[in-house]
Amino acid sequence: MPTYLDQNKERFLSELLDWLRIPSVSADPKFQGDVLKAADFLKARLEEAGVENVELCQTAGYPIVYGDKIIDPSLPTVLVYGHYDVQPADPYELWTSPPFEPVIKDEKIYARGACDDKGQVYMHVKAFEMMSQDGGVPCNVKFMIEGEEEVGSSNLSIFVKANKEKLKADVILISDTGMLSNDVPSIEVGLRGLSYHEVEVTGPNRDLHSGIYGGAVPNPINVLCKMIASLHDENNHITVAGFYDNVDELSAEERAEMAKAPHSDEEFKKSIGLKDIHGEKGYSTIERTSIRPTLDVNGIWGGYTGEGAKTVIASKAYAKISMRLVPHQTSAEITQKFQQHFEKIAPQGVTVKVTPHHGGEPVVTPTDSVAYQAAAKAIETTYGKKPVPTRGGGSIPIVAMFKSELGLDTVLLGFGLDSDAIHSPNEHFGVFNFLKGIETIPHFYRNYAAASK
């Protein structure tokens, strides 16, 4: 007999595609109307799925979509978090199909937000619908889906602090991460934190002719390059003063355990076209992307960047520089250390301005909790294999905030893959993964309700 999921999967996909058509880019004010439209769309779908008390909770920024279904106060309560905003889609010219005209090709949904995070949020909406229609929802459920995750969730913590009673729950459930592969299911139990800065270097007070002035003025681009170059030493250790002071160094045993996860440097290189692996001396690729902090320039600009040649010495040069943090670094600590360090290494002739953007705390979630075990068992049921616990490289800053504000642990039940190209051109999400998510989530609820009795 075909399941409810079998019978409805075409409609589920079609609804998701409709949502992906709305370019909810929170970073760029020109998409403001679309971000709001994406929130309205979600509100309507939650109501249709049977969620109650659905509302747009206003914030100083984009609204938080809240809704709940309280079956019985004696049952455990799951708070589902996700986000309906997406990363900017540029460079548009590198997309093989337009980012906001979703298409399904080779069993994958191609669109900005397909995986991060609209596709994964929509699994929860449809899993809820499925439970309501097909056997009942076994826990109380609350949804809290925000519109500012990609710009730092700066209004979420204000909302959480002001609504602790409303958000009371037993566990947080988030699908905004990935698995090792469809053959090696996994659950992330650690996330790196983030410290993000925009830096500005000013040399002369106006753009200058490089012939007349070249050689006698500090060129802010050359200076910025020199400053950035100095942030790593010859072993790719980060040179920011005090950067490693609080880094949690894993034991030899823990590292040996990590090394058992399936990984091939050859396949890693091949998957992203690298000629050679790269990173901090003394650590493996998996360690470099999970238990070690990093520093990367995310953007740089200055001077003439148009066609042809312009012989100019720019007045200013800019870069966006971010650091991924690990336990027990804190975003505030590293932000301060970076700022101090970057200002200190500036040569005398230039002025440096460091503007911190949002940050996020690194976090490790427990694997011995009832909720984690419920999630692991759900995956084992639908994938046929026990999931591997992994430490992820990305940051979901709000996980640490939920712990401190609500006292709740999080289960990161993510169905994406590294190859989904989130934050990149041609982001996609496997149809298999989308449907597997919808199938797996109800098992989590059932396992969790049963174990909480």
Least Å distance, CB 318 to a copy of itself, is: 8
Cβ-based neighbours of 288, under 8 Å, separated by 6 or more: 279, 280, 294
User: Which residue stretch of 12-20, 50-58, 308-316, 329-337 sits at the interface with a copy of itself (rule: CB under 8 A)?
Assistant: 308-316
Least Å distance, CB 212 to a copy of itself, is: 5
CA distance 262 to 160: 38
The residue from 149, 150, 188, 409 that is catalytic is: 149
Least Å distance, CB 334 to a copy of itself, is: 14
By CB under 8 A, the residues from 175 to 214 that bind a copy of itself are 178, 192, 194, 196, 203-214
Least Å distance, CB 21 to a copy of itself, is: 22
By CB under 8 A, the residues from 13 to 32 that bind a copy of itself are 27-29
Residue 53 or 210: the one with the smaller Cβ distance to a copy of itself is 210
Tokens (6 digits) for 25: 């880019």
Amino acid sitting at position 125: V
By CB under 8 A, the residues from 255 to 294 that bind a copy of itself are 268, 272-280, 285, 288-289, 292-294
Cβ-based neighbours of 259, under 8 Å, separated by 6 or more: 284, 286
By CB under 8 A, the residues from 373 to 402 that bind a copy of itself are 392-395
Cα three-residue angle 58-191-386, rounded to 5 degrees: 110
The answer to whether the beta carbons of residues 66 and 51 sit under 8 Å apart is no
Least Å distance, CB 296 to a copy of itself, is: 5
Q: Choose, by CB under 8 A, the member of 1, 60, 216, 252 that binds a copy of itself.
A: 216
By CB under 8 A, the residues from 143 to 162 that bind a copy of itself are 150-152
- E strands along 48-98, which residues? 52-57, 64-69, 77-83
CA distance 421 to 442: 27
Q: Strand, helix or coil at 140?
A: strand
Least Å distance, CB 439 to a copy of itself, is: 25
By CB under 8 A, the residues from 79 to 118 that bind a copy of itself are 87-88, 90-91, 94
By CB under 8 A, the residues from 118 to 147 that bind a copy of itself are none
Q: Write phi, then psi, for 125 (nearest 5 degrees).
A: -60, -45
Q: How many residues bind a copy of itself (CB under 8 A)?
A: 101
Closest CA to 192 of 334, 319, 85, 320: 334
Told to judge if 149 belongs to the known catalytic residues of this protein, a careful annotator would answer yes
Told to judge if 176 belongs to the known catalytic residues of this protein, a careful annotator would answer no
Least Å distance, CB 160 to a copy of itself, is: 21
Cβ-based neighbours of 129, under 8 Å, separated by 6 or more: 48, 49, 50
Site track 426-445 with a copy of itself (rule: CB under 8 A), x = hit? x-------------------
The residue from 34, 68, 85, 150 that is catalytic is: 85
By CB under 8 A, the residues from 309 to 338 that bind a copy of itself are 309-314, 317-320, 322, 324
Q: Does 362 bind a copy of itself (CB under 8 A)?
A: no
Residue 3 or 298: the one with the smaller Cβ distance to a copy of itself is 298
Q: Choose, by CB under 8 A, the member of 224, 250, 363, 398 that binds a copy of itself.
A: 224
CA distance 83 to 38: 10
Closest CA to 377 of 435, 447, 449: 447
What DSSP string runs through 215-274? TSS--HHHHHHHHHHTTB-TTS-B-STTTTTT--PPPHHHHHHHTTS---HHHHHHHHT-
Cβ-based neighbours of 18, under 8 Å, separated by 6 or more: 41
Q: Write out the catalytic residue numbers.
A: 85, 149
